[in-house]
Amino acid sequence: MPDHRAGADPPAECGDAGVTPRRTPLRVVAGAPLLAAVLVLAVAPRADAVVAATKASRAVSAVACSPSTLSATLVLSPVGSASTAVAGAVVFANGSGRACTLRGVPKVSVVSPSGQALGVYQESSVPHTARPVTLARSSSTAPRPDAAVSITWSAWSCARGSFALDIHFAGWRGPMTVPWVPTAGAAAPATCSGSHETIFVGPVARSAPPS
Protein backbone atom coordinates (compact mmCIF):
# COMPACT_ATOMS: atom_id res chain seq x y z
CA MET A 1 0.00 0.00 0.00
CA PRO A 2 1.53 3.33 -1.08
CA ASP A 3 2.66 5.63 1.65
CA HIS A 4 0.42 8.78 1.71
CA ARG A 5 0.99 11.10 4.63
CA ALA A 6 -1.65 13.51 5.79
CA GLY A 7 -1.25 17.13 4.84
CA ALA A 8 -1.11 19.24 1.71
CA ASP A 9 0.42 17.69 -1.38
CA PRO A 10 3.60 19.26 -2.72
CA PRO A 11 3.09 21.62 -5.67
CA ALA A 12 4.09 19.01 -8.22
CA GLU A 13 1.65 16.52 -6.86
CA CYS A 14 -1.15 19.10 -6.72
CA GLY A 15 -0.64 19.85 -10.35
CA ASP A 16 -0.71 16.24 -11.22
CA ALA A 17 -3.87 15.71 -9.26
CA GLY A 18 -5.63 18.59 -11.08
CA VAL A 19 -5.94 20.70 -7.97
CA THR A 20 -5.27 24.45 -8.45
CA PRO A 21 -2.48 25.57 -6.14
CA ARG A 22 -3.36 28.29 -3.64
CA ARG A 23 -1.83 31.73 -4.32
CA THR A 24 -0.63 34.02 -1.57
CA PRO A 25 -2.64 37.29 -1.67
CA LEU A 26 -0.78 40.55 -2.34
CA ARG A 27 -0.14 42.70 0.66
CA VAL A 28 -1.28 46.37 0.47
CA VAL A 29 1.38 48.71 1.72
CA ALA A 30 -0.05 51.47 3.85
CA GLY A 31 2.20 54.12 2.31
CA ALA A 32 1.42 53.27 -1.35
CA PRO A 33 -1.24 55.97 -1.94
CA LEU A 34 1.07 58.62 -0.47
CA LEU A 35 3.96 57.44 -2.63
CA ALA A 36 1.77 57.57 -5.74
CA ALA A 37 0.68 61.10 -4.91
CA VAL A 38 4.28 62.21 -4.49
CA LEU A 39 5.16 60.72 -7.87
CA VAL A 40 2.26 62.51 -9.56
CA LEU A 41 3.27 65.85 -8.07
CA ALA A 42 6.88 65.32 -9.10
CA VAL A 43 5.95 64.54 -12.71
CA ALA A 44 3.11 67.01 -13.31
CA PRO A 45 4.19 70.59 -14.25
CA ARG A 46 3.45 73.23 -11.66
CA ALA A 47 0.85 75.90 -12.47
CA ASP A 48 3.20 78.79 -11.77
CA ALA A 49 5.77 77.36 -14.18
CA VAL A 50 3.14 77.21 -16.92
CA VAL A 51 2.09 80.82 -16.25
CA ALA A 52 5.72 81.98 -16.33
CA ALA A 53 6.30 80.21 -19.63
CA THR A 54 3.19 81.83 -21.11
CA LYS A 55 4.31 85.30 -20.05
CA ALA A 56 7.77 84.67 -21.46
CA SER A 57 6.35 83.62 -24.83
CA ARG A 58 4.22 86.77 -24.96
CA ALA A 59 7.23 88.93 -24.14
CA VAL A 60 9.14 87.37 -27.02
CA SER A 61 6.28 87.86 -29.49
CA ALA A 62 5.71 91.56 -28.62
CA VAL A 63 8.86 93.62 -28.08
CA ALA A 64 8.99 97.31 -27.13
CA CYS A 65 8.18 99.67 -29.97
CA SER A 66 10.92 101.96 -31.28
CA PRO A 67 10.67 105.26 -33.20
CA SER A 68 11.97 103.59 -36.35
CA THR A 69 9.00 101.20 -36.49
CA LEU A 70 6.27 103.72 -35.63
CA SER A 71 4.37 106.42 -37.44
CA ALA A 72 2.56 109.13 -35.48
CA THR A 73 0.04 111.90 -36.06
CA LEU A 74 -0.70 114.89 -33.84
CA VAL A 75 -4.41 115.67 -33.73
CA LEU A 76 -5.49 118.82 -31.86
CA SER A 77 -8.65 120.91 -31.75
CA PRO A 78 -10.04 123.79 -29.65
CA VAL A 79 -12.04 122.88 -26.56
CA GLY A 80 -15.23 124.88 -26.16
CA SER A 81 -15.35 128.49 -27.29
CA ALA A 82 -11.83 129.42 -26.16
CA SER A 83 -9.39 129.24 -29.06
CA THR A 84 -6.43 128.95 -26.67
CA ALA A 85 -7.78 125.84 -24.93
CA VAL A 86 -6.49 123.01 -27.12
CA ALA A 87 -6.70 119.25 -26.60
CA GLY A 88 -6.10 116.12 -28.62
CA ALA A 89 -3.69 113.23 -28.89
CA VAL A 90 -0.61 111.80 -30.51
CA VAL A 91 -1.83 108.71 -32.34
CA PHE A 92 0.64 105.88 -33.03
CA ALA A 93 0.62 103.11 -35.62
CA ASN A 94 3.02 100.19 -35.99
CA GLY A 95 4.62 100.02 -39.42
CA SER A 96 6.69 96.88 -38.85
CA GLY A 97 5.85 93.24 -39.48
CA ARG A 98 6.01 92.39 -35.78
CA ALA A 99 3.77 93.37 -32.85
CA CYS A 100 5.26 95.79 -30.33
CA THR A 101 4.26 97.51 -27.10
CA LEU A 102 4.18 101.03 -25.64
CA ARG A 103 3.88 101.72 -21.92
CA GLY A 104 3.39 104.61 -19.51
CA VAL A 105 3.65 108.38 -19.92
CA PRO A 106 6.26 109.61 -22.41
CA LYS A 107 8.38 112.70 -21.96
CA VAL A 108 7.08 115.40 -24.29
CA SER A 109 8.95 118.51 -25.42
CA VAL A 110 7.62 121.24 -27.69
CA VAL A 111 10.01 122.33 -30.46
CA SER A 112 9.93 124.74 -33.36
CA PRO A 113 9.89 123.43 -36.97
CA SER A 114 13.69 123.81 -36.95
CA GLY A 115 13.99 121.69 -33.79
CA GLN A 116 14.62 124.47 -31.26
CA ALA A 117 13.16 123.74 -27.81
CA LEU A 118 10.31 126.04 -26.74
CA GLY A 119 9.52 127.16 -23.21
CA VAL A 120 6.79 124.67 -22.29
CA TYR A 121 6.45 122.67 -19.08
CA GLN A 122 5.05 119.15 -18.90
CA GLU A 123 2.66 117.77 -16.30
CA SER A 124 2.21 114.00 -16.46
CA SER A 125 -0.83 112.03 -15.45
CA VAL A 126 0.70 108.88 -13.95
CA PRO A 127 -1.76 106.04 -13.26
CA HIS A 128 -1.28 103.60 -10.40
CA THR A 129 -0.87 100.78 -12.92
CA ALA A 130 0.70 101.61 -16.29
CA ARG A 131 -0.57 98.87 -18.57
CA PRO A 132 1.29 98.20 -21.79
CA VAL A 133 -0.56 98.63 -25.07
CA THR A 134 0.25 96.18 -27.86
CA LEU A 135 0.26 97.53 -31.40
CA ALA A 136 -0.54 94.85 -33.95
CA ARG A 137 1.93 94.17 -36.73
CA SER A 138 1.31 95.94 -40.00
CA SER A 139 -0.24 93.81 -42.71
CA SER A 140 -0.72 96.58 -45.30
CA THR A 141 0.80 99.82 -46.57
CA ALA A 142 -1.57 101.79 -44.29
CA PRO A 143 -0.77 100.84 -40.65
CA ARG A 144 -3.76 100.93 -38.31
CA PRO A 145 -3.65 103.49 -35.46
CA ASP A 146 -3.62 101.34 -32.32
CA ALA A 147 -2.45 103.61 -29.46
CA ALA A 148 -2.58 107.23 -28.40
CA VAL A 149 -1.24 109.66 -25.80
CA SER A 150 -3.59 112.46 -24.72
CA ILE A 151 -2.34 116.05 -25.01
CA THR A 152 -4.04 119.05 -23.35
CA TRP A 153 -3.14 122.74 -23.00
CA SER A 154 -4.94 125.08 -20.65
CA ALA A 155 -3.67 128.01 -22.71
CA TRP A 156 -1.99 127.79 -26.08
CA SER A 157 -1.56 130.49 -28.69
CA CYS A 158 0.75 128.87 -31.26
CA ALA A 159 -0.78 128.23 -34.66
CA ARG A 160 -0.96 124.97 -36.51
CA GLY A 161 2.28 124.25 -38.33
CA SER A 162 4.39 126.45 -36.01
CA PHE A 163 5.59 123.68 -33.68
CA ALA A 164 6.14 119.95 -33.22
CA LEU A 165 6.28 117.54 -30.30
CA ASP A 166 9.31 115.44 -29.40
CA ILE A 167 7.96 112.18 -27.90
CA HIS A 168 10.35 110.08 -25.81
CA PHE A 169 9.23 106.83 -24.15
CA ALA A 170 11.39 105.18 -21.49
CA GLY A 171 14.03 102.96 -23.10
CA TRP A 172 14.22 104.93 -26.34
CA ARG A 173 17.63 106.21 -27.42
CA GLY A 174 16.15 109.36 -28.88
CA PRO A 175 12.83 111.15 -29.39
CA MET A 176 10.27 110.83 -32.16
CA THR A 177 9.34 114.22 -33.65
CA VAL A 178 5.66 114.65 -34.48
CA PRO A 179 4.67 117.95 -36.16
CA TRP A 180 1.23 119.53 -36.15
CA VAL A 181 0.97 119.48 -39.92
CA PRO A 182 -0.38 122.76 -41.34
CA THR A 183 -3.56 122.80 -43.37
CA ALA A 184 -2.93 122.48 -47.09
CA GLY A 185 -2.83 125.91 -48.75
CA ALA A 186 -2.69 127.81 -45.44
CA ALA A 187 -0.37 130.76 -45.03
CA ALA A 188 2.87 130.27 -43.16
CA PRO A 189 2.17 130.53 -39.42
CA ALA A 190 3.83 133.02 -37.12
CA THR A 191 6.80 131.89 -35.05
CA CYS A 192 5.80 130.04 -31.88
CA SER A 193 7.50 131.19 -28.68
CA GLY A 194 5.82 128.82 -26.21
CA SER A 195 5.45 131.54 -23.56
CA HIS A 196 6.06 129.00 -20.77
CA GLU A 197 2.69 127.31 -20.97
CA THR A 198 1.99 123.90 -19.43
CA ILE A 199 1.21 120.80 -21.45
CA PHE A 200 -0.63 117.92 -19.78
CA VAL A 201 0.29 114.45 -21.02
CA GLY A 202 -1.63 111.26 -20.32
CA PRO A 203 -0.47 107.61 -20.39
CA VAL A 204 -0.53 105.67 -23.61
CA ALA A 205 -3.86 103.95 -24.12
CA ARG A 206 -5.73 101.93 -26.70
CA SER A 207 -6.87 104.07 -29.63
CA ALA A 208 -10.33 103.57 -31.06
CA PRO A 209 -10.07 102.21 -34.62
CA PRO A 210 -11.15 104.62 -37.34
CA SER A 211 -14.78 104.27 -38.46
pTM over 0.85: no
Asked if 168 contacts 99 with a C-beta cutoff of 8 angstroms, the reply is: no
Report, as an integer, the average pLDDT of 4-8.
51
CA dist 181 → 51, 52, 106 (Å) = 45, 45, 21
Q: Tell me which H or E stretch contains 52.
A: helix 47-61
The answer to whether the CB of 151 falls within 8 A of the CB of 76 is yes
Instruction: Return the higher-pLDDT residue of 206 and 196.
Output: 206
pLDDT digits (tens, 9 = 90+) for 31-70: 555 444 443 444 445 555 554 544 544 444 579 999 999 9
pLDDT tens digits for range 8-23: 555 444 445 555 555 5
